[in-house]
């Protein structure tokens, strides 16, 4: 998938569901729930139970969605993720070798960075966009907004502390999209297997972010 297609999907969706599943069956249900709520960008963390198998299964089960992975630490993991069908790749850090390996295979890679120096480095190596993590630890939306003047040309995806309440503010501050994990999957709802309620959370998130995008003139 080209970076152009990937960025277009981000601009349409404005959000990614990040699933860290202790059991494959649970990960499948979580993904189906947010997809039912309208979300089309789903990340399965590589440290999930049988992540590769889950990604392959979801590619088949949810053809309308784009399924990727994250929490990749080295080139070997990255190559394994691509082999099982991951369509985008998140890393918690900036690794030139990983970025170059993904670019060579035309798979969007989104390295994690925090400082302006790290963000610019990731971009210069060929990242499709950059994950700003953990965004709430450094000021949330105000930090994203402060990066816009010097780095407005670099698409940023804040994660780490993104909530249903502040997601809209982060988009309005300049983020291309946001990544949510625990906030989309409250523990009590997962324990109760209340997938309808989780689908509703996903639907509400998309509606709020669509409104935020309109307010920015998208």
Cα–Cα distance, 34 to 64 (Å, whole number) = 13
Check whether 218 has a pLDDT greater than 80. Answer: no
Which residue, 84, 89, 70, 82, is CA-closest to 6? 89
Is residue 74 left, alpha or beta, with left meaning phi > 0 and alpha meaning psi from -120 to 50?
A: beta
Confidence of residue 211 (pLDDT cuts 50, 70, 90): confident
Tens-place pLDDT, residues 84-127: 999 999 999 999 999 999 999 999 999 999 999 999 999 999 99
Span 134-175, pLDDT tens digits: 999 999 999 999 999 999 999 999 999 999 999 999 999 999
Q: What is the pTM of this model?
A: 0.95
Other Cβ atoms within 10 Å of 215 Cβ, number: 11
- 25-58 pLDDT tens trace: 999 999 999 999 999 999 999 999 999 999 999 9
Q: Which CATH architecture has domain 3-212?
A: Alpha-Beta Barrel (3.20)
Considering Cα of 42, then 45, then 48, then 51, what sign does the dihedral take? positive
Sequence ranges of the domains in the chain:
3-212
């Amino acid at each position: 998938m080209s970076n152009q297609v990937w960025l277009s999907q981000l601009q349409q969706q404005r959000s990614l569901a990040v699933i860290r599943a202790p059991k494959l069956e649970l990960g499948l249900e979580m993904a189906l729930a947010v997809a039912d709520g309208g979300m089309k960008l789903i990340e399965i963390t590589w440290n999930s139970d049988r992540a590769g198998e889950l990604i392959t299964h979801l590619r088949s089960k949810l053809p309308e969605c784009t399924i990727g992975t994250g929490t990749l630490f080295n080139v070997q993991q990255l190559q394994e993720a691509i082999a099982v069908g991951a369509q985008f790749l998140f890393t918690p850090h900036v690794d030139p070798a990983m970025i170059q390996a993904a670019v060579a295979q035309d798979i969007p890679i989104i390295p994690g960075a925090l400082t302006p120096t790290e963000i610019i480095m990731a971009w210069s190596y060929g990242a499709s966009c950059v994950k700003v993590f953990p965004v709430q630890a450094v000021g949330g939306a105000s930090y994203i907004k402060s990066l816009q003047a010097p780095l407005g040309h670099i698409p940023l995806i804040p994660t780490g502390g993104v909530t249903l309440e502040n997601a809209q503010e982060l988009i309005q501050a300049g983020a291309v999209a946001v990544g949510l994990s625990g906030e989309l999957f409250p523990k009590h709802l997962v324990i109760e297997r209340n997938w309808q309620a989780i689908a509703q959370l996903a639907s509400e998130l998309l509606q709020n972010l669509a409104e935020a995008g309109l307010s920015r003139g998208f």
